[in-house]
Amino acid sequence: MLKLLVVEDEVELLELYDLILSKDYIVFTTESGREAIEIFDRENPEILIVDIRLPDVSGVEVIKHAKAKNPNVAAIGVSAYRERFKEALDAGAATVIQKPFLVKQIHKVIQDVLENKQ
């Protein structure tokens, strides 16, 4: 099973990601950008889903760190703020999805990103 790291500061949404994705992936979750970097370095997940706006280290910085460590990581940015999309894409995100989104969309987005990586 592929490893997936979700970084989201809204606890309810983080729990929802875990519930939805844990059937298909080994899921690691955190509310903190700083902790996300530590988990990424330790677990080297193939997929990263990261909220762009986090309270400590920004999601953009998390993406930059992940791509520097593993250029093949499939990074997906998430944001309620469209103006942050370009910043995430420039940092190396394969795509950015806007909050709110339908939960069932996340599986499709992950599949599309993994397919485009190959």
User: What are the angstrom distances between the C-alpha of 11 and each of 8, 17, 110?
Assistant: 7, 10, 21
Confidence of residue 82 (pLDDT cuts 50, 70, 90): confident
Quote the CA–CA distance of 76 and 80 in Å, as a whole number.
14
Q: Which residues contact 6 (CB under 8 A, 6 or more apart)?
A: 14, 17, 18, 21, 27, 28, 29, 30, 49, 50
Structural domain of residue 103, as residue ranges? Answer: 3-117
CATH number, residue 54? 3.40.50.2300
* Structural domains counted in the chain: 1
Q: What is the pLDDT of residue 117?
A: 65
Q: What is the pLDDT of residue 65?
A: 97
**pLDDT tens-digit profile of 95-109?**
999 887 766 788 788
State pTM to two decimals: 0.90
